A and B are shown apart, each in its own frame.
Chain A
Amino acid sequence: MKSLPVRRFKFLAFVAVSALATATLAQQQAKPSTPAAAKAAPAASAPPNFQKTMGNPSAPITMEVFGDFQCPACRAFFESTTKQVIDDYVIPGKVYLVHRDFPLDMHPYARQAARLANAAANFGQFEQIERALYDHQDEWSAKGNIADVIKASFPPAEFNKFLAFANQHMDEINASIERDRAMGTQRNVNQTPTVYITAHGKTEALPGGGVDYKLLKSYFDYLLRQ
């Protein structure tokens, strides 16, 4: 026959375990609603996301471009090479394209353009703003009237969201640009565009200043055959 204190202890232990199990179950049931809630929340209250990327992150090849939106060589590279890479390799899921900000000091409006691009990236509009910035580079690079020139490429409400976000999150955006620049400096980037290709666990720097699409294509095809 068991004594009364032992029974009382067992009862208390049962109550404690039950309470713990109920709390855990309740927490687990509450968990699936968290991401949905985050998605439903307005972007302004979510943590900023400056992912200036296109394509599938698990693509066999990653192409990182250290670029400056005011640099004519970057525009030439974007127009003649990157656009074709997007169509032929990024959209089919073979290449994951990553933009890294590397605004050069010689270009007075490059940083301003990068801020706007980061703001648009937060709303998943990086590809659109990159196209707009390069397509209209001549128009804004003389006077720095970036917003006036670029706003025509977006619905007004959408573009106003970018501007508001850029103003509200200036420090975070600047920090993001500086992180990219620091990464470039660490990798000895000294001109734009500078392209890095990662495949099969190895990262290779391509000769700086841009690459012809046909040469890049033959390299990609070689990497994909490996």
Chain B
Amino acid sequence: MATTAIPSETSPRAAAWPRVLLVIGRVALGAVFLIAAYTKLHFNGSWHFGDYHFFFAMAIDSYNMLPLWAVEIMARTLPILEALIGALLILGIGVRWVAAFTSALLLVFIGAMTRALILHIQIKCGCFGNDEPLTIWTLLRDSTLLVLSLAVTIGAFLVKKRDTASA
């Protein structure tokens, strides 16, 4: 008995491009987070594994938003978290949840930066190293990253949904 293939609604090439875009998006976002972690751990020409948190704590504290104990916890953990996010996004592990968490994190950063700019607090951003001043441009850059992060999050959920449906 002869069998006939069921024609798909979309061509294989058309079906592949969202996946390709998702890979490009998550790798780009992951690379940005890896660079952000690197600049917090490596500055003034050397690695600062032992004392990076002192410098980063000073940058976080300049936002005048958190109590000192929270500043210290954040300073110690955030660069490690950024490195982990970067690695997971590049490797494609848990992309949906990692990207969603990244979006939430970026939203918090943008909120803190917007508040500092509104209050005219002249501080360092603390985004990429300790020496970058906080300006409207750093806010725009992080907003662009948030758009990318949201696109990766939505894309990852849609691809997963389609994969589940086709299975």
Contact = CB atoms under 8 A, between A and B. Distances in A.
B58 interface: yes
Contact size class for A?
20 to 34
B122 A207 contact: no
Q: Which has the most chain B C-beta neighbours within 10 Å: A202, A205, A208?
A: A208
A215 interface: yes
B62 A191 contact: no
Contacts of B59: 207
Contact of B133 (A73, A191, A218): A191
Contacts of B68: 212, 214-215
Contact of B57 (A188, A202, A210, A215): A215
A190 B61 contact: no
B54 A207 contact: no
Interface stretch (B23-31, B107-115, B123-131): B123-131
Nearest to A188: B131
Interface residues of B, number: 21
Interface string B53-72: 01101110110000010010
B18 to A, nearest CB: 41
B10 interface: no
Contacts, number: 56
Nearest to A190: B133
A209 B51 contact: no
Nearest to B126: A207
Nearest to B131: A205
Given A215-B57, A215-B58, A222-B54, A207 B124 contact: yes
A207 B62 contact: yes
Contacts of B124: 207-209
Contacts of B50: 222
Interface in A197-226: 202-212, 214-216, 218-219, 222
Interface string B139-161: 00000000000000000000000
29 contacts: A188-B131, A191-B133, A202-B44, A203-B44, A204-B44, A204-B55, A205-B44, A205-B130, A206-B58, A206-B130, A207-B55, A207-B62, A207-B123, A207-B124, A207-B126, A207-B130, A208-B124, A208-B131, A208-B133, A209-B122, A210-B62, A211-B58, A211-B62, A215-B58, A215-B68, A215-B71, A216-B58, A219-B51, A222-B50
